[in-house]
Structure 1
Amino acid sequence: MRRVRYEHGGGPEVLFLEDAPVPEPGPGELLVRVEAVGVTLPVVRKVREARDPIALGGEIAGEVVALGEGVTGHAPGDRVTGLVFGHGYAEYALLHTAMASPVPEGASTVDAVALVRSGLVAYGALDAARPEPGEAALVTAAASGVGHLALQLARSRGASRVVGAVSAPGKADFVRGLGADEVITYDREAWGEPVDYALDAVGGDLLAPAVKSLAPHGRLVAYSSGGGTIAAYDLLVGAKSVIGFQMGLIARGRPEVYEAWRRELWRLFAAGELRPAVHAEFALEDAAKAHEVIETRSNLGKVVLIP
């Protein structure tokens, strides 16, 4: 089979195609013929930051072709999606059953990688904000794979006003098309009327203006790996709060919640209330180009590899 190999950090040229044996599924694992791979910012950052070779994992979707020892509830021919921690940029990948979920009829595998993992992060971050109907919401990175779903989910949970924050004016029409009432760029000195909660996927220097955008008693949910600091005084003066959200803790510690969120995402998709957008599809040999789109923040929706 073909898979993408990573050698060392420093640039997109570190990704190469190689031939590798098809892996054998171990206990509790599914061997999946991969039809779509979701490219994510955390994986792109790993390639930039790691000095030693790493497996390029992430979101995959495809057809089950073999079962490991002890696997029940799955069969060859099933279509599944999930998160792999080994090699995912490949024609075949090993997916543990704990991370696997079925792709329903009427949905493609590209829909699945655009919706499920990014949608779970978006749904979880929104849930952490404890939204109430009629509240105003702000979503940063609103054109990203997660952000464009978070914006739609905020509306579905009853937000009266949804503001999308983006890095460039050229993304405004895309974000408005998803239901944003307002679109702002990060370089604006003022971010408009205050909001009741903000979902931040960027971090860094954007944390301070995001907190400033909150109304008294507002909540900021931080789910970015981008770091950043907030001055305690900025929270005290408005009785504001910051909540950290990390998807892995939910997946490992509260699997029943994780599964309920997955079911709700597919329900909203089937009802036409949630529309995952795909910016572009790349072949495996163009994985470096896919990473470049993510790294330059030029994507409108999800970036997908097609083995």
Structure 2
Amino acid sequence: MLRIHHQVNGGPTALFVEEADVPRAGPGEILVRVEAIGVTLPAVRKVLASGEPTTLGGEVAGEIAALGPKVTGFAVGERVTGLCFSDAYAEFAVLGAAMTSRIPADASAAEAVALVRSGLVARGAYEAARMQPGESVLVTAAASATGTLALQYARAGGAGRVVAAVGRPEKADFVRELGADEIVLYEDADWGAPYDVILDGVGGDLLNPAVRALATGGRLVAYSSGGGTVEAFELLVRGASLIGFQMRAIAVGQPELYDRWLRELWQLRDAGTLRTAVHEEIPLAEAARAHALIEQRRNLGKVVLVTGAGR
């Protein structure tokens, strides 16, 4: 099979195509013939920061090719999506059964990788914020796959004011179409503060400006891989809270809740409440171009790699 591997040096040009053996599914695992792979900011950051060759994880969708020992509830030939923690950029990938779910017959693989993982993270961040109807909400990285769905969750949840924070003014029309009332740029002085809730998908240097934009008693939910250090005084003077959210903790620790959110996600999609945004479907061999789009923050929605298998 073909897969994308990573050379040392960093940057998109460090990605290259190589031939590799088809992996085997171990206990509790599923082997998938991959149709689509969702490119994520954590994967891009991993390539940029890594000082040694590394494999790349990400969301994948495709057809089940084989089931490992002790896997029940799935069958060869079913179309599924899930998170692969290594060698996701390949024609075959191994998924943990606990984080794998079926794709509806009317959904494409590209739509599945744009909706499921990002939608679950958006839902989880929204729940962690304990948002109440009428409250004001700011979503950072609003043009990302997760950000676009977080905007829609906030709007559907009855937020009184939904504001999208983006890095480029040309993204304004895009996020406005997905439910944003107002647009702010990261370089703006006060981000239109204050906000009752901030859903932050950026982290890093933007974390403290986000904290300063919180209203008294506000809540900031951080779900990015960007890290960052918060000045505790800024939280103290506002009586505000910083909440970290990780989807894996829900998938592994609360599987019934994870399954319920997953079912509701597709129901909201069917009702038209949630719409996915796919920036571009890019051939697997051009993974470097996909990474460049993410690194340069030029994407509007999900960047998806496709293998040519399936539909």
Taking structure 1 as the reference length, what is the TM-score of the superposition? Answer: 0.97
Structure 2 match to 1:91:
91
Q: In the aligned structure 2, how far is the partner of 1:158 from the partner of 1:265?
A: 17
Q: In the aligned structure 1, how far is the partner of 2:55 from the partner of 2:231?
A: 37
- CA shift, 1:193, in A, is 4.5
Structure 2 match to 1:202:
202
- Contact conserved, 1:9 with 1:49, CA < 8 A, in 2? no
TM-superposition CA deviations, 1:184-220 (whole Å, max 9, x none): 1011112225221000111122122212222211111
> Counterpart amino acid of 1:252?
V
State yes or no: 1:306 paired with 2:306. Answer: yes
State yes or no: 1:143 paired with 2:178. Answer: no
Structure 1 match to 2:249:
249
- Contact conserved, 1:137 with 1:197, CA < 8 A, in 2? yes
TM-superposition CA deviations, 1:200-251 (whole Å, max 9, x none): 1111221222122222111111112212222222222221111111222222
CA gap of 1:21–1:182, structure 2 versus 1, over 3 A, is: same
State yes or no: 1:265 paired with 2:251. Answer: no
- How many pairs align? 307
- CA shift, 1:143, in A, is 0.3
Structure 2 match to 1:122:
122
- Contact conserved, 1:61 with 1:110, CA < 8 A, in 2? yes
- Contact conserved, 2:98 with 2:252, CA < 8 A, in 1? no
Q: In the aligned structure 1, how far is the partner of 2:283 from the partner of 2:296?
A: 19
> Counterpart amino acid of 2:117?
R
Q: In the aligned structure 2, how far is the partner of 1:263 from the partner of 1:303?
A: 24
Structure 2 match to 1:218:
218
> Counterpart amino acid of 2:282?
F
Q: CA RMSD in A?
A: 1.2
> Counterpart amino acid of 2:145?
G
Q: In the aligned structure 2, how far is the partner of 1:11 from the partner of 1:230?
A: 28
Structure 1 match to 2:56:
56
Q: In the aligned structure 1, how far is the partner of 2:50 from the partner of 2:207?
A: 26
Taking structure 2 as the reference length, what is the TM-score of the superposition? Answer: 0.95
Q: In the aligned structure 1, how far is the partner of 2:20 from the partner of 2:7?
A: 15
Structure 1 match to 2:175:
175
Q: In the aligned structure 2, how far is the partner of 1:129 from the partner of 1:167?
A: 23
Structure 2 match to 1:133:
133
Structure 2 match to 1:46:
46
Structure 2 match to 1:280:
280
Structure 1 match to 2:16:
16
Q: In the aligned structure 2, how far is the partner of 1:137 from the partner of 1:172?
A: 16
Q: In the aligned structure 2, how far is the partner of 1:141 from the partner of 1:102?
A: 28
- CA shift, 1:75, in A, is 1.0
